[in-house]
Structure 1
């Protein structure tokens, strides 16, 4: 594989990103679903690649014909397959760079109820998955116990986390879990948006929303994904002078350094384990941990340094957001475009069981737990956590923007505070990264006991601590 071939494969990303955007602008159904262009482009790439168009062409042309790969050459597919695992490090290293870390009291007051709710939902996905593994997937389909982690990895973690765990799945002897996780992540995003819109319509009719009265008030431009002219604002600030260093280059360098710090920390942990636990027990654990959650820790360390030493306020959060958004678009498009349909077909019944039970748990949690745990604006705040539990943070933010377009409720503030505590653990954090090797080493039953205990912590604190505040205000 030459540098030119790698470069051409990256150029192809632009073609499908733009194609996805054009289709989003033109197709009404996709506008109403608010589907990101990266997901649309990824599906188009999948259809025009070797797994769909290539197999169809194979019926009419010889095996050595170039059309047997569709319009995606083998080199392009191979390059794209590696991109998600790289881009997820950029996404997670950027999570806290440029963000103001508030006082603990503020986090607890506004983010506490949603942390309890999200904690219960996130750990509950492990409970559901592990129950499936213990009683159905392993006995009847001979699927390894680590499949019990796939709902949380795919739904809460999304395409990025699923891609980041690919090497872990492979090292633990179940490489097919990557394709299943990518497929589940796609189902999660789609069902998150679809069920989210359905729930919003239901809530408006039942007077559960306090901000909006009609979900049909969105402009045509907004549905097409085009920013209204009067609402346009700078995408980022110029915090450095270009003749010194281009602002984008400066911020990209910070993200790279955060990833490097994470890599050094991970290598140190692996080396420490080798001379301690691994040396004493003969088993290792840290080598299965992917880089992305530790890259997030690298970003936090770098942000703490800049918060104390940067008197010029050089780190612009909006610029970091643009870098993070680009990495996420590339990640999603490449992951969907290279997912193995053969693997999903081979494991179709387990795949459907994981998807259906995961969706059912999230819907139950939102409808039953959210109004009992979150003291005020329960729907506006809870819908964000529901969206995240189905299809990562971006889906949650999208649904919150639908029910609170002008930020009139405390939903965005509370969600942001909750993320500061939640993200380092679930949804792609350390718990997500550690869960797969933990289940592989200790088994599904210990994993189930731990997950059930964590669900109990979330539900108990939510109902009997934060829920009491709700009843006090009602009285």
Structure 2
């Protein structure tokens, strides 16, 4: 693969991001759903690529024609397929860089109720998924039981986690799981926005939101995804002088160091397993763990080091988030643009069962548990966790923005605190990365029982501890 092909593939990817933005500006439905341009651009690439346009034109133009692969050549598709697995490492290494870590007491007091609620939903997705796999997918469709983990990977983890797990799926002999997980992540984002807005409108009519009369009305510019002139702000703070080093280059390098720390941890675990419990039990798990959750650990360790020794505060959180956002856009547009429609078609019924099971569990948990676990501002706070559990963090933030436009409740702050404990484990954390290798090595039943116990603990803490409190956490 030549550098020219890689570079041109990136240029074309940029074009599809702009196409996605233009479509978002023109189509009212996409504006109302607040769909990210990267998702729209990804679907545009899928339609104009080899799987749709290429398959339609190949019989007319010939298999050797340029048009037989649509507007994406075979080499470009190869480049795109590799990008999601690389970008997810950047995204996870960036999660905690530039953040000031609050005390555990404050995290527990402010974010505890939402942590309990999110914990119950996340582990419950494993329970539902594994039950579907054991009772239906494996006996009737001959699908490996590890498919039961795809709901949590696709819904809680999103496109990034699904992409990061691609090599794990391949190593364990179930490469189709990647396309199924990407498909579930896409369904999750769409359903998260749609069901979230429906629930908000129902709650407003029933008076379940404490600031219902102040429900946000989005301007035309906000729906178009354009900032008003008076609300525009800088993308980041220039913490270093450019004649020394470009600040963006410095922040990119810091993220690279975090990834390298994660890589060193990964190799250390693999080496330790090879000389300890691996040969004794003939069970090897660490080999299948992807890099991205350990890159997140590398970011945490690097930030702890900076907290102690960086007296100039050179790492700016907003600058890190710009790099993270770019990586996420690249990941989503390339992951959706290269998803295998043939795999989705072949496994359509299992895919549909997992999607319906995941959506059903999330909505049921929201209906049954949210109000009982979160004592104050329960709707404003829990709607964000519902959005995250069905799509991405941005979906949760969007839904909270609708019900709490002026940030008058503790929802946003508590959501952020919850993420500090939640993300290292679920939603793309260590548990998500370990789930598939553990199910493969130890079997689905032990993991199902463990997931049930974890969900039960989250439910009990939420209902009987946080649910009994009446103090505003602010």
Q: Would you call these one fold, judging by a TM-score over 0.5? A: yes
CA distance in 2, matches of 1:422, 1:154: 16
- Higher mean alpha-carbon deviation, 149-158 vs 208-217, is at 208-217
4+ residue runs over 6 A deviation:
none
User: Is the Cα–Cα contact under 8 Å of residues 129 and 147 in structure 2 kept in the other structure?
Assistant: yes
* Superposition deviation, residue 129 in structure 1: 0.3
Q: Is the 8 A contact 1:201 1:215 kept in 2?
A: no
2:440 is equivalent to residue 440 of structure 1: yes
CA contact (8 A) 1:392 1:427 kept: no
Following superposition, the deviation at residue 214 of structure 1 comes to 6.2
Q: Which runs of 5+ in 1 are unaligned?
A: none
Which deviations, in whole Å up to 9, do the C-alpha atoms of 1:392-423 show, x marking residues without a partner? Answer: 21211111112112211111110010000000
TM-score by structure 1 length?
0.98
Distance 2:19 2:429 in 1: 32
- The corresponding residue for 2:380 is 380
- Match of residue 469 from structure 1: 469
| Aligned-partner Cα distance in 2 for 1:326–1:400 | 23
Within 5 Å, which residues of 2 pair with 1:67-146? 67-146=67-146
> How far, CA to CA, are the matches of 1:100 and 1:210 in structure 2?
30
Aligned partner of 2:298 in structure 1 is: 298
SS at match of 1:102: coil
Task: Output the aligned Cα RMSD.
Answer: 1.0
Aligned residues: 472
> Which residue matches 2:150?
150
Kept in 2, the 8 Å contact 1:89–1:292? The answer is yes
Task: Find the aligned partners of 2:343 and 2:15 in 1 and give their Cα distance.
Answer: 27
SS at match of 1:58: helix
Match of 1:286 in 2: 286
Equivalent in the alignment of 1:416: 416
Match of 1:392 in 2: 392
Matched residue, 1:206: 206
Could you tell me how far apart the structure 2 residues matched to 1:13 and 1:312 are?
A: 37
Where 1:59 maps in the other structure, the secondary structure is helix
CA contact (8 A) 1:133 1:444 kept: no
Deviation at 1:209, TM superposition (A): 1.2
Answer whether contact 2:128 2:357 (CA < 8 A) is retained.
yes
**Contact residue 284 and residue 441 of structure 2 kept, 8 A:** no
Gaps of 5+ in 2: none
TM-score (norm 2): 0.98
C-alpha displacement of 1:215: 5.0
* Structure 2 partner of 1:316: 316
Give the secondary-structure state (helix, strand or coil) at the position aligned to 1:217: coil
Contact preservation (8 Å) 1:88, 1:161: yes
**For residue 356 of structure 2, what is the aligned residue in structure 1?**
356
Aligned match of 1:165: 165
**Matched residue of 2:55: which SS?**
helix
Q: Evaluate the alpha carbon distance shift between residue 216 and residue 280 of structure 1 in structure 2; reply closer, same or farther with a 3 A threshold.
A: closer
